[in-house]
Structure formats: C-alpha cells, structure tokens
Amino acid sequence: MTFMTTAKSMATLDAAIVGAGFAGLYMLHRLRELGFSARIYEAGSGVGGTWYWNRYPGARCDVESLEYSYTFSEELRKEWQWTERYAAQPEILRYLNHVADRFDLRRDIQFDTKIAVAVFNESEKQWLIETDGGDRVAATFCIMATGCLSAARVPDFEGLEIFQGKQYHTGHWPHEGVDFTGQRVAVIGTGSSGIQSIPVIAGQASQVYVFQRTPNFSVPAHNGPIAEDVKQDWQENGPKYRAIAESTPFGLLVQSKPAAHSALEVAAAERERVYEQGWQAGGFGMIAAFPDIVINRESNDTAAEFVRNKIRGIVRNPAVAEMLTPKDYPIATKRLCIDTGYFETYNRDNVTLIDARATPVEALTRTGLRTRDREFEVDSIVFATGFDAMTGALNGIEIRGRHGEALKEKWAAGPRTYLGLMAAGFPNLFTITGPGSPSVLSNMALSIEQHVEWIADCVAHLRDHGIATIEASAGAENEWLNHVNETAHQTLFPLANSWYMGANIPGKPRVFLPYIGGVPAYRQKCDEVAARGYEGFVLGERAARSPA
C-alpha cells in the first residue's frame, strides 16, 4: 500500500468526487442539495471533462444538443439555448461552465489536481485519498466521475521522441488551438475523432496523409442551426421528450419509432427508401430504423451495404473508395461515426489515404514517419488513436479496497461490477457510468443523470438509516457480469475489434465493457434493487456517527 502517512493534515468530507465533467458537476450539486459535504478533484484547470480536453478541430457531439443536456433543473433547461443541432466542443464547454457558475460549484472544485491513490481504511470506514500534490483527504464515499473515454492513448511507436515536428493527440488538444495552414500533416486513426477532424485539417493544410488501419462506417450529421419552432417545442416539452428517450434502448429519441419488424421483412426497395430517409435526416436514425440491425447479421448486411454504396458514390477514385469501405465487421458494432463532409474530403487533391493495415506505421523519424514501403515527411502528426476506454482512467489511480486489494488486479481479466455502479470488496466506492452499465451505449447525459440520482439516493438512504457502508455482494456481481456478457453475445457487437471490447489496447482483456441490455431494462433493474433495500448489495454495520 503506497498511501503516505507523512503528508499534510487531512481534510474530511462526506464525499470525494473525481472529475468535473458532466457527471462530477451534477454529483456535486446533488450531494450538496442533500446536505453532504463534497469536493471535486479535477486534473484539468477548468470544468468540462471530455469537453475540456477534446478541443481538436471539428470536435462536436454525436448526440443532438437538445438531448445532450441536463434535465434536473427546469430553470437551467429554460435559460440555455443551443445554437446547433450537434453542438461543437466550445459550445458544450460553455454550457458546462455555465452550469458550474449557475450552481456555484467552483468553490468545491480543486483544479489541476489528480487523484493518485485511494485506499479504503477498514477501521474508520473511510476512503483515504491522496492527490498528486500530496494533499490528503478522508471521505466516507469516493465517487469516480472519471469518464469513459478520458485516458488518451498514443501507440508506442518507435521514434516518438525523435520526431522534430509537432505531435498532438485529439484527446489532449492545445487550448490555444493549432493552425495547420501550409503544413504537411499526418493523421493516424479514423475513428470518430479522426473522421471529425480530418475534413477541417484538410481545409487548412497543404497536404494531409491519413493513416487508416480499419475503415469506419460513417453517416452524415446534416448539422445546422436549430429552428426556432424546434427550440420552442423543447422549451415546452423537454421533459416529455426525455421520458420518451428513457424508454428506448440507447436512450435516444431517434430510436423512439423503430419499425415493428425485421429489416428482412420488407422488400428491398422499401428498405432502401427507409435507409435513404435516415441518411438524409442525418445522425443515428439510419441504423435505428429496424430493431434487428445489431442482432441479425443478414439485416445488418442490408444497412452496411447501403452505406458502402454511399461511400462508393461519394468518393470519386474507385480504389480510394474501396479502401474507405468497411467490409469485415457489422455496421454499428464499432461506434458509428457521424460526420460532416468526411468521405468528400478524399476527393481533395491534398488528401492521401494510406492503408495502415497493409503497410503499418513502423516508426516516427526525425522528419516524419515510416511505413514498410515509404517515408513521409510531415510538419505535424495528429494521433486520433483513441482511448483506454472505460477502465483506463480508473486503473490509472491506485485504488485499494478491503484487505488492500487493488481494483486493477481485481479487474485484470476484465472489469467486474454490479450494475456498473460498485465492485465487491470496494465499499462506498461508486463509479458513475462504470463498466457494466449502458454508459457509452446510451445518451451519456441521460445515463449520467440516472447514476448520479441513484447514487445520491443511496447515500442519503445510508445516512438516514445510520448505515456505514454499502458494497456489491460477490454473488450479485457475478450474476451481473454473466448477464452483461450473455446479453452482449446475443448481439453482433463482439464481432468487431472495437474499444467496446477492449480490442484497441494491446494486452487488454477481450470482454464487452458496457451493458447492452438497453436503458429501460437497466433503469428498471436499478430502481427495483433500490426499492428492495439495495438488493445484491451488502449494507455494513451502523456508523458510530452517521455522515453529515
């Protein structure tokens, strides 16, 4: 155990919250409302989490702004006006700053502070937490609001340190922005971040080399201003729309009217018409059109082929179009990308696509990078190479529960949680949108609100009943893990080498990380568990003095 006992004097809190993104901000607000003392520890110098770090050109949300919002405050909902259908990163960051100011959250946020260690002290029934600056705090509850896609990852290419130009990761973009005008730029990676940034970078740079290992399915956003009547409608009916979204599998309104039948039960011409309608509408609508697209390979093929044909129709060079066409995994089993002019970008003279599967990047050189076939001289390299998703940020903290067990070791073969909320052996440690919950397979704003409210209710229940600790029982955790796995394997998702499966990180266990049983079933389970006195959790002995 590496917790240092010689550090500065120790503050005590009811709850320490790690991270000041969407989740941490609301958690702090909710706990304060309930009269708890709480404090957020945040590595960045400002609020925003994902939206604080991911400032790459073209960064915007793939969930529509009106849905990607908090609903807990009627006043907040009414006073904030989104400008675009898919808000860009600066606008989302402004929103989260507004939330922080409006609810006076900053006085309980410690910025520029990473949590290095969190150890459960069994005799005191407290988490002893230490920051990278040596500050120590004791907290009854430790709440991880660390985000699902926050541990940015650069592949360990040889020569990273010898390249003389500039290197950027999309997930750690410089705050002052980057002007690529006149530059030769290499972009490595064609996931959502690459697909959003490449068209914007290509509009500035003299030459862009895109290194693509796996082509991605992407559909147009058709982004634009939100019409006044739509805004007005949401002002009046926002809560009604959220309730509808909560009744859909991924918590998205676009899923609220799926066909009642398989994609295979309609004639080919009708299917095309439905897909075309979805394509023209933009966003996730196309794959939400039929309920079996992520379950039945044959149905999936119809949607996949529709998008493949679109790519072939947009990209003028047939060889480049074929390289950009995904063929070896079902559509939507890697996160479907939502783009603005992505495939069109390959019709530009200054954009070159390199097949990084046939000829992988071997090393960075002083002046660029090298594949087996060729050297590329560039001024800048953009790593759009993704994240150690869902477990990376948590495993980056030394978290120790009962008997000094490390969470990282407990999760060595893949994360184990009950409901994605708690892990057996780690009392009073909550993970907001943790592995085993719908999280990234849902509208994050919706799932975050649900988790925050569940956790706040739980903590208040413990206080009101003088209960010191709560933790997942090993049995409930096992059952849930089996259920998460079984549910995933009833879908096509495990067929793709995706970050959902941990497949993007060498050596990471291949397990399906989020829960794909759907938002309604998950919410019902969480509600039932709480209503039955936190069934599946072990409630610890009465506290000598209850928190707060």
Residue 190, number of CB atoms within 10 A of its CB: 23
**Is residue 126 close enough to count as binding ligand NAP by CB under 6 A?**
no
**213 touches ligand NAP by CB under 6 A:** yes
**Residue 335 binds to ligand NAP (criterion: CB under 6 A):** yes
| 394 near ligand NAP, judged by CB under 6 A | no
Region from 173-181, 182-190, 320-328, 419-427 binding ligand NAP, contact rule CB under 6 A? 182-190
Considering only the stretches 21-29, 314-322, 380-388, 469-477, report the one whose residues sit in contact with ligand NAP under the rule CB under 6 A: 380-388
Q: At closest approach, how far in Å is the CB of 329 from ligand NAP?
A: 9
Query: Which residue, 196 or 395, has its beta carbon nearer to ligand NAP?
Result: 196
The partner residues of 143 in beta bridges, in order of sequence, read 17, 430
Binds ligand NAP (CB under 6 A): choice among 194, 435, 518, 536: 194
Structure tokens, 59: 């960064």
R_g (Cα) of the chain, nearest Å: 24
Query: What length is written for the chain?
Result: 548
Choice from 126, 140, 190, 299 touching ligand NAP (CB under 6 A): 190
- Looking at the Cβ atoms of 170 and 447, the one nearer to ligand NAP is 170
> In this chain, which of 149, 288, 378, 526 binds ligand NAP, going by CB under 6 A?
149
Restricted to residues 271-310, the positions that interact with ligand NAP (CB under 6 A) are none
How far apart CA 257 and CA 41 sit, in angstroms, is 41
The reply to whether 429 sits near ligand NAP by the rule CB under 6 A is no
**Interatomic CA distance for residues 332 and 376, integer angstroms:** 32
Contact indicator for 252, 67 with CB cutoff of 8 Å:
yes
Q: Which stretch binds ligand NAP (CB under 6 A): 77-85, 189-197, 371-379, 462-470?
A: 189-197
Contact status: 188 vs ligand NAP (CB under 6 A)? yes
The residues in 62-121 that bind ligand NAP, with binding defined as CB under 6 A, are: 62
- Angle, helices 22-33/89-102, rounded to nearest 10 degrees: 10
Q: Considering the rule CB under 6 A, would residue 192 count as an interface residue with ligand NAP?
A: yes
- 218 with 279: CB under 8 angstroms? no
Rank residues 208 and 529 by Cβ distance to ligand NAP and give the closer one.
208
**Is 168 near ligand NAP (CB under 6 A)?**
no
Q: How many residues bind ligand NAP (CB under 6 A)?
A: 28
Q: According to CB under 6 A, which one of 93, 245, 378, 384 is a site residue for ligand NAP?
A: 384
Q: Where are the beta strands (DSSP E) in 225-287?
A: none
Q: Which of 211, 329, 454, 522 binds ligand NAP (CB under 6 A)?
A: 211
> Residues 6 or more apart from 180 whose CB is under 8 A from it?
201, 204, 205, 380
The reply on whether position 196 binds ligand NAP by CB under 6 A is yes
**Which string of b and e fits 24-56 if b means at least 16 CB within 10 Å?**
bbbbbbbbbebebbbbbbbbbebbbbbbbbbbb
In whole angstroms, give the CA distance from residue 182 to residue 196: 20
Least distance in Å: CB of 118 to ligand NAP?
26
Site stretch for ligand NAP (CB under 6 A), options 202-210, 379-387, 518-526, 529-537: 379-387
**Closest-CA residue to 436 (of 341, 530, 511):** 511
CA–CA gap between residue 28 and residue 36 (Å, rounded): 9
User: First vs last Cα of the chain: how many Å apart?
Assistant: 29
Q: How far is the CB of 362 from ligand NAP (least distance, A)?
A: 10
Task: For residue 85, give every residue at least 6 positions away whose Cβ sits within 8 Å of its Cβ, in sequence order, or none.
Answer: 64, 65, 221, 222, 223, 224, 225, 226, 282
Positions in 497-536 near ligand NAP (CB under 6 A): 499, 504
Does residue 385 bind ligand NAP (CB under 6 A)? yes
**155/540 with CB nearer ligand NAP:** 155
Structure tokens at 158: 């040889």
* Alpha carbons 224 and 83: distance in angstroms, whole number: 8
Question: Which is nearer to ligand NAP, 156 or 464 (by Cβ)?
Answer: 156
Of 460 and 492, the one with the shorter C-beta distance to ligand NAP is: 492
Helix 228-246 / helix 519-531 crossing angle, nearest 10 deg: 60
Please report, as residue ranges, which positions from 471 to 500 form the binding site for ligand NAP (by CB under 6 A).
499
Tell me how far apart the alpha carbons of residues 139 and 117 are, in angstroms, rounded to a whole number: 13
Find out whether 138 and 128 touch, Cβ atoms under 8 Å: yes
For residue 219, the minimal CB distance to ligand NAP (Å) is: 12
In the list 21, 49, 189, 425, the residue contacting ligand NAP (rule: CB under 6 A) is: 189
- Closer to ligand NAP by CB, 149 or 459: give it: 149
Q: Which is nearer to ligand NAP, 34 or 505 (CB)?
A: 505
User: What is the footprint of ligand NAP within residues 24-63 (CB under 6 A)?
Assistant: 60-62
Give 2-7's long-range contacts (Cβ < 8 A, gap of 24+): 2/117, 2/398, 3/117, 3/119, 3/128, 3/130, 3/400, 4/130, 4/134, 4/136, 7/130, 7/134, 7/135, 7/136
Residue nearer to ligand NAP on the CB measure, 191 or 425: 191
CB of 507 to ligand NAP, least distance (A): 13
**Residue 187 beta carbon to ligand NAP: minimum distance, rounded to whole angstroms:** 9
**Nearest-approach distance from CB 320 to ligand NAP, in angstroms:** 16
Least distance in Å: CB of 108 to ligand NAP? 28
Nearer to ligand NAP, 386 or 438 (CB): 386
Q: Which residues contact 28 (CB under 8 A, 6 or more apart)?
A: 17, 38, 39, 40, 105, 108, 109
Do 218 and 336 contact (CB within 8 A), yes or no? yes
- Residue ranges binding ligand NAP (CB under 6 A): 60-62, 149, 155, 170, 188-194, 196, 211, 213-214, 335, 338, 356, 361, 384-387, 440, 499, 504
